[in-house]
Structure 1
Amino acid sequence: MPLAVYVLGLAIFAQGTSELMLAGLLPGMANDLGVSVPDAGLLISAFAIGMLLGAPVLAVLIRRWPHRRALLAFLAVFAVTHAVGAVTPEYWVLFATRVVGAFVYAGFWAVAAATAVDLVPRDARGKAMGIVAGGLTVAAIAGLPAGTVIGQHLGWRAAFWAVAAMSVAVMAAVAATIPGGGTGGEVRRVRDELRAVAVPRLWLLYGTTALATSGCLVTFSYLGALLTETTRIAEAWVPGVLALYGVGALIGITIGGRTADARGIATLYAGFGGLVAVSVALALTARSPVPVVVLVFLLGFAGFATNPTLNTRAFGMVDGAATLVAAGNVVAFNVGITMGPWLGGMAIDAGAGYASLGWIGSGLGMLALGAVALGQMRRRTATAPLRSRSAAGVGGEAP
């Protein structure tokens, strides 16, 4: 596997740490900025909004840029937004930096995915994508708790400075390892690429991804506050509990990666079913530390176990337009990241309490299960006439 693929994973780790670490910083940020915890939670949604906009826009605008130039430009802007965020006393300035930083992070994701695919043989693409996406999993295991520890001891602004420094450092590695020429092959017309991704089953998969992600994030986004304010776990233990979430995510994505190709649908049913069960259990036991700690681990496991299936199935549904397919994945995940904190914040503002987040998560998980079932029904309906004519070798399953 080329070193450049691992560097791309490292870059995703640096930026993904920023995406995730706010879950452990919200109480301190809210107090420092003079806003409520739900308002601070909207900074997570701000990041998702930036990714929603950045993925499709930048995927089109930088199609003719060499990959290395695009990746370096995105990292530079990302570092600057975090430096500005670290010094501003204004909530809305910080909100804007989150949007802009996420905008270029989305572009980085799309270009990094296309770059990784270009750098390896076709039969190694899945492994390469796993390494790149694995950067986010490592961010959940190491970056999230590390950011929380830094925030607790040095303040949340120090965590932002740390992300800015990591982003600058990884720029040197990208410059040294990513080839400087080419855009990854022939540049197709925008109209042709859009036509290539206009596949109904691909968009159903994107919808499934958004529902499942929001079902996990509605609880995860407020996990630090839930642990301290409802479960009454000492603040010093919160980073360790969040690290358990990351360990569960790593185990989940590892197992899910091994089952994605041969048992994709079964993986989705098991993962989404697990999300529903864990969410209900969290709602029922939110005030009990021991079960909550175990359930946080299982939330990470269930939330990440389906990611390899969701990602690899999307790339398998379309020939070409890899950057746009990757951008669609980014959009789908971040629709869920936007919906989750927003729905959770509304419930908290309404006085429902942090335990209510589990009930919302379970409902969203049920909808994701329904979307998988709908996809299977559509597939059976579409392939029935072909089976009657004994036409073997029909293309991949619908999600």
Structure 2
Amino acid sequence: MLPSIPPKYFLPLVGLAVSAFVFNTSEFMPIALLTDISDSFGKTPAETGIMITAYAWVVGLMSLPLMLAACRMEPKRLLLAVLALFAAGQIGSGLATSFAMLMAARVAVACAHAIFWSITAPFATRLVTREHQPFALSCVATGSAIAMIFGLPIGRVIGLALGWRMTFFCIAGVTLCALLYLGRVFPRLPQGGAPFSPRDLPALVKNPFVFGNFVLAVTFATSYFTIYSYIEPYLGTVAGFSPEAITTTLVALGVFGFFGSVVFSHAYGTHRRFCLLTGGVGVTVCALLYTGAAALAPALVAVCLVLGMISTLFNVTMQAELLRSTSRAGAPVATSIYSGLFNVGIGGGTALGSFVAGAGHLPSIGLVGAAIAAVTAAYTIFAYLPAVRKYH
């Protein structure tokens, strides 16, 4: 049991968790409302879907340059500015009178997203003592997990009842509340030494833990999203799940994502190697079971739930690894590169899943994901863990 955290530290963590909730909800919201958005602008879902791809690639491409430009700002001012840009992008999305305007607003949101996920983990851990850092990271991860459980379904209900524009307005409203709340409770954090410079990048990347983290980000995200991006048609057409059963399974997957953050907060400090191994090895095993489990519904549901837990556990573990391996000034930049590469992996996994499904091999998509996850496992075992033993 962790010692109690003073309210002056816990209250800002609540604000960061709420912010993580709205950022994650917003990222995937267009997926749930794609048909309605397409109808509004006289386009097909395939034509409108470019806004989802563009969002991911803007985050991937802009994370590092935006963080380098913003790293000299005082932390609290930077956090509030990012939330303000995010809220403005949501309002712009709701007011868009053309698809081009909607795309421009989503690009603004993606830029805010790129910076937010670069600074959230470093800021959360700076709010607390070292012994509470796993708890601080798990708070942020909990906000993300809750978005997967409740954010998307609630957003879809609002969009269907009141129109898709109202969903974006609601996200903007929650964001503005979070901005005002954090403006009140978030402390002013010291800069902590000289600001990060582009000249420091080569040394940062040469750090074996940082470089290894980047490799694992790409391979893990590619393997996981090869499977996850097509989990709905897999459950429906291969496993024969009803629409209601698919919805229940996806919600339960999000719930188990929350359990992943709980496992991290209790295990990372004393069982670091277990947390590191779970990502590559866990997804490899689950992906291999994914195909065979399609014939037995309870087994397939169990595999999906474990995958959801592993995803959150891996993400938070990798952020913790970056924070312990970089300086205070370098941590946001390293996290921004990680976030960008993870989004590259998301795009790669989604594209690979689309290719596999389009070629008529959807029943074998788990085997494809397993092959890539095996790369994550091998790198962790033969490269990353030996560095842990050598330097830590």
What do residues 168-206 of structure 1 show as CA deviations (whole Å, max 9, x unaligned)? 221111211123x56533333504642552313311221
Pick from 302, 323, 328 the counterpart of residue 332 of structure 2. 323
Q: 1:338 aligns with which of 320, 334, 347?
A: 347
- Secondary structure at 1:107 match in 2: helix
**1:106-152: CA deviation from partner (whole Å, max 9, x where unpaired):** 21222333332332233333322222233212212221332344455
> Residue type of the partner of 2:87?
A
SS in 2 for 1:245: helix
In 1: Cα distance, 2:141 partner to 2:218 partner: 17
Give how far 1:316 is off: 1.5
Match of 2:193 among 166, 171, 186: 186
Q: Measure how far apart 1:104 and its partner are.
A: 1.0
Q: Once structures 1 and 2 are overlaid, which stretch shifts more, 256-265 or 162-171?
A: 256-265
Please say if residues 11 and 170 of structure 1, whose CA atoms lie closer than 8 Å, have aligned partners that are also in contact: yes
1:305-332 superposed Cα distances (whole Å, 9 cap, x missing partner): 3223212112122233222122233223
Q: Of residues 146, 164, 167 in structure 2, which corresponds to 1:159?
A: 167
- Provide the identity percentage: 23
Match of 2:111 in 1: 103
Distance in 2 between residues matched to 1:157 and 1:227, nearest whole Å: 30
TM-score normalised by the chain length of structure 2: 0.83
Runs of 4+ in structure 1 over 6 Å off = 30-33
Instruction: Give the aligned residue type for 1:395.
Output: Y
Letter in 2 for 1:190: S
Amino acid at match of 1:212: F
Displacement of 1:267 in angstroms is 2.8
Residue among 126, 136, 142 paired with 1:134: 142
Tell me the CA shift for residue 21 of structure 1: 4.0
243-252 or 88-97, larger mean C-alpha shift: 88-97
Are the structure 2 counterparts of residues 256 and 121 from structure 1 closer, same or farther at C-alpha, using a change threshold of 3 Å? Answer: closer
Task: After TM superposition, give the deviation of residue 49 of structure 1 in Å.
Answer: 1.7
CA–CA separation in structure 1 for the residues paired with 2:370 and 2:273: 19
Alignment partner for residue 89 of structure 2, among 64, 81, 88? 81
Aligned residue among 273, 277, 288 for 1:265: 273
| Contact residue 218 and residue 361 of structure 1 kept, 8 A | yes
Distance, in Å, in 2 between the alignment partners of 1:285 and 1:21 is: 30
Cα distance in 2 for partners of 1:201, 1:136 equals 25
What is the number of equivalent residue pairs in this alignment?
Answer: 381
Amino acid aligned to 2:74: P
Letter of the structure 2 residue corresponding to residue 210 of structure 1: V
Deviations 1:200-239 (A, max 9, x none): 3311221112211222222323444544565554445544
- Which residue in 2 is equivalent to 1:116? 124
1:147 equivalent in alignment to 2:155: yes
Could you tell me which amino acid in structure 2 is paired with residue 10 of structure 1? V
Which shows bigger deviation, 131-140 or 215-224?
215-224
Is the contact made by 2:68 and 2:198 (CA closer than 8 Å) also made in structure 1? Answer: no
TM-score by length of 1: 0.82
Instruction: Give SS of 2:72's match.
Output: coil
Q: CA RMSD in A?
A: 3.2
Take 1:163 and 1:339, find their aligned partners in 2: how far apart are those partners? 28
**Change in 2 beyond 3 A, CA 1:149/1:274:** farther
C-alpha spacing 1:97/1:231, structure 2 compared with 1 (3 Å): farther
User: Contact 1:45–1:342 at 8 Å: present in 2 too?
Assistant: no
Classify 1:115/1:205 alpha carbon distance in 2 versus 1 (closer, same or farther; 3 Å).
closer
> 1:256, 1:305 within 8 Å by CA — same for their partners in 2?
yes
Q: Per-residue displacement from partner, 1:236-289 (whole Å, max 9, x unpaired)?
A: 554433210111111123213322233333333334233123323334455875
Aligned to 1:64: 72
Residue pair 2:134, 2:269 contacting (<8 A) in 1 also = no
> Structure 2 regions of 5+ residues with no counterpart?
none
Deviates more, 1:307-316 or 1:146-155: 146-155
The amino acid across from 1:188 in the alignment is P
1:40, 1:346 → 2: CA distance? 19
Any stretches of 5+ residues in structure 1 without a counterpart? 384-393
Q: Residues 76 and 27 (structure 1 numbering): CA distance in 2 closer, same or farther, change over 3 Å?
A: same
Residue 395 of structure 1 pairs with residue 388 of structure 2 = no
